[in-house]
Amino acid sequence: MSDRSTHSSFQFAIRAIILAGILAACFSAALAQSEDDVIKVDSSIVVLNATIRDAQNHPVSALQQKDFKILEDGVQQQIISFETQEAPFAAVILFDTSGSMESRISIARAAAINFLDGLRADDVTAIYKFDSKIDMVQDFSDSRDVSDKIFDLKADGMTALNDAVYKAVSQLSDRSEKRKAIVIISDGADNMSSHSAEKALKGALAANVTIYSLDMSSMETNAAERRQNQGVLRNFAEKTGGTFISTENGLAMREALKAIVNELQIQYTLAYEPADTKRDGKWHTLELRVARPSLIIRTRQGYNAAKNGKAK
């Protein structure tokens, strides 16, 4: 081989290495951007929406501010706002249309329509479908009529559950309603998202969004995989103060969504300004106590402080 040929081959190899390095850097930067892109709320006030039920699972609606205590990292905080009256809510229904949902699309569709039936005049709901990508089916509206698009939905593609949750949170974070919720109708599998479940959850906690997850996994799914998928849906719900519901048929799902609508209408809304405001970017635990025995209390379990002077 001539010196010229050897030199050309060497230059080609160098260019290939440099190009590969650039592509790797771009990929890493894109991945870091998607993972570091945490939703932030422009406020130092921490708001909790709480559902209180008795031992028989009936809603408790006669509590007063003096009955409540809020603890952040074990330290009691001063409640500066307390609301018990019915208040409007904003919700996003996330409708799983991935290939694994093929046999249950009609059940999920009927359940979503049933949710809209329970809306009051000032409540608003948006519907998004997700598979390999996320698309809006219906924008925020107080209408009980569902878009005809929902009847054209078909199961196909992969599942971007975490990205769908993150998208819904970003839409809700701009809403003025104090009560915000996401209703996930899915089998819990995720094989397509650029965001992790942790990032999606942090976003929900940042925006004080309550997540209700309805498991639609097939009984034919591998048991270990089903438990793992249910664990993801359960974690979304429990950490944000919502509920995880495993449904076996259409009637059970419709009743579950009816219960969620009713619950959103009778929550307690409390707020405080942290006594020891730390901009450390760390997780801060929240505990809500009520001065009555045997009550079931559900609210978000904490939030991530910001490092830039904005509470998350």
What is the per-residue pLDDT across 150-189, written as a single tens digit (0 to 9) for each? 999 999 999 999 999 999 999 999 999 989 999 999 998 8
Q: What is the pTM of this model?
A: 0.84
What is the per-residue pLDDT across 17-27, written as a single tens digit (0 to 9) for each? 444 443 344 43
Contact predicate 142/124, CB 8 Å: yes
What is the per-residue pLDDT across 216-258, written as a single tens digit (0 to 9) for each? 887 778 889 989 999 999 999 999 999 999 876 778 888 888 8
Task: Give the residue among 146, 125, 223, 232 at the shortest CA–CA distance from 188.
Answer: 232
Average pLDDT, the chain: 84
Instruction: Write down the residue that tokens 């849906």 correspond to.
Output: 233
**Integer Cα distance of 130 and 158 in angstroms:** 9
Tokens of 50: 């709480």
Strand partners, 210: 181
Confidence at residue 87, expressed as pLDDT on a 0 to 100 scale: 84
Contact predicate 89/180, CB 8 Å: yes
**Integer Cα distance of 268 and 65 in angstroms:** 10
What is the per-residue pLDDT across 40-97, written as a single tens digit (0 to 9) for each? 554 578 999 999 999 998 899 889 999 999 999 999 999 999 998 778 999 999 999 9
